Structure 1
Amino acid sequence: MTSRADLLAWLNELLQINYTKVEQCGTGAAYCQVIDSVYGDVPMSRVKMNAKHEYEYIANFKVMQTVFKTKKIDKPIPVEKLVKCKMQDNLEFLQWIKRFWEQNYGGQGYDPVARRKGAPTDTPATIAPLSTGRAGGLNVGGARSGGRTPISGHRSGSAQPNEAVQQLQAQLKDMSGHLEGLEKERDFYFAKLRDIEIIVQNKIESTQQESEGAPDDPTLLDIQRILYSTEDGFEVPEGGVDEEETF
């Protein structure tokens, strides 16, 4: 298996980005562009290279799923796991991506900056793990000869357990705020779609009443079709259309 350091070095060189952690691949942007380097026809204008929110990550993976389906790439994409930006899940998928690239890349020249049309590629932020070293996180007092000091064996004067709790509380607060923001954004766009749906429906009904037998407006019908369209495996819940996509 390729090491994390080697994977990041390969990824940064190929795409001319500056990722420092495998977890940052959870945005989906880098995965999309690696596939683009193989085929050269991924719609990079739809890939948000500086995605910062989970709904943006999911949109990136939707682009990738479409490409996989078109190219008949028989590899499930564990979107729900990858967008959580956990190291192990993204490490395993990045290793697969590199193997796929090695087997299919034809050696053609590839300009990653031109392909993404100079779109900003801010290094994605991820929630840092509690422990970044042998003495970090919940390992009170650090490592010592013969084993680690257990949490219950709290040393006098050590503030590390309290710091760990504070860090967890800060992460929980940040995640709660992020979730609240996503819910508000979802409701905001859902309300807009609902308003459009009502306007279109009223216009179609009004036209039908005014001119019986006349063909319906094709533009309105196209809008209505888009509003009501779903994907394979997606079921409309009872009581209305849920605009959140499932993978």
Structure 2
Amino acid sequence: MGESRTELVAWVNDLLQVNYTKIEQCGTGGAYCQIIDSIFCDVPMARVKMNAKHEYEFIANFKILQNAFRAHKIDKPIPVEKLVKCKMQDNLEFMQWMKRFWDTNFGGQEYDPVARRRGAPTDTPATIAPLAPSSRGSGGGLGAGRAGGKTPIGGHRSGSAQSNEATQHLQAQLREMSTHLEGLEKERDFYFAKLRDIEIIVQQQMEALEADGKDDPLLRDVQKILYSTEEGFEVPDPGAPADEEETF
């Protein structure tokens, strides 16, 4: 039936020199990309975000994996929508397939995983939970803390009733804001994935043209639009540490 999740995590840690504790962490896509790279040594690991913490980053990693599958004519569907949810069973089944593929195709060559990813950090969160429930939970805690801080204002007799009413009102507002934020995050991820697809197509076509000594002004204009920024906006540094306020 294949290796257990414990055996697979140990294998991934040994092969890639990472420190994963759960098979769910592979849902970020980075480990899958580097397993394929260990076989063929042609995955653009500099573009793989090994310490990805957000679903749109997971999706970008899986786009790279899909390109690698196509390049090597690997006829295996990648269930991206399931894997990026970081559920145990989905990632266990896919990693079992990856391990069988690796056993069949790895040539036994020397492989330095740290050098291949240029020493990029791999501090994937030990526990990856769905973003929306996590944000709702932390939001509720924040609301409770703020409401508790206002308890004395209501006076001695009616303070408790007023505090409860204020707390309920704040919690209702937080739930509404959380639902709205969840919708915005989904919309952001949806459009990011589309832009990422366009970027990859343009980049592949540009590389093909450059290899033939040709150029396409239209593609360059599209690429310029994709990479343009506005005043006050900076493109995040891929090597920069994640926001310390992010918790998992």
* TM-score, length basis structure 2: 0.57
Q: Show structure 2 runs of 5+ residues with no match.
A: 131-170, 196-214, 227-248
Q: Secondary structure at the match of 1:11?
A: helix
Q: Secondary structure at the match of 1:106?
A: coil
What is the deviation of 1:66? 0.5
Distance 1:106 1:187 in 2: 38
Task: From the superposition, tell whether residues 187 and 93 of structure 1 become closer, same or farther in structure 2 (CA, over 3 Å).
Answer: closer
Distance 2:218 2:28 in 1: 35
Task: Provide the residue aligned with 2:38 in structure 1.
Answer: 37
Q: Report the structure number with the largest CA radius of gyration.
A: 1
Task: Provide the residue aligned with 1:160 in structure 2.
Answer: none
What is the deviation of 1:57? 0.4
What is the deviation of 1:127? 1.8
Number of residue equivalences: 161
What is the deviation of 1:224? 4.0
Where do 1:142-221 residues align within 5 Å? 179-180=182-183, 182-183=185-186, 185=188, 219-220=217-218
Q: Among the aligned pairs, what percent are the same residue? A: 61
Greater helix share, structure number: 2
Q: Show structure 1 runs of 5+ residues with no match.
A: 129-168, 193-216, 229-247
The 8 Å contact of residues 52 and 58 in structure 2, kept in 1 or not, is answered as yes
Distance 1:187 1:66 in 2: 19
Q: Secondary structure at the match of 2:3?
A: coil
* 1:8 matched to 2:9: yes
Task: Provide the residue aligned with 2:92 in structure 1.
Answer: 91
Distance 1:177 1:8 in 2: 36
- C-alpha RMSD over aligned residues: 3.5
Task: From the superposition, tell whether residues 189 and 112 of structure 1 become closer, same or farther in structure 2 (CA, over 3 Å).
Answer: closer
What is the deviation of 1:187? 9.4
What is the deviation of 1:179? 3.1
Task: From the superposition, tell whether residues 219 and 106 of structure 1 become closer, same or farther in structure 2 (CA, over 3 Å).
Answer: same
Where do 1:116-127 residues align within 5 Å? 116-124=117-125, 125-127=127-129
* TM-score, length basis structure 1: 0.57
Distance 2:72 2:99 in 1: 17
In structure 2, give the amino acid aligned to 1:91.
L
What is the deviation of 1:223? 2.1
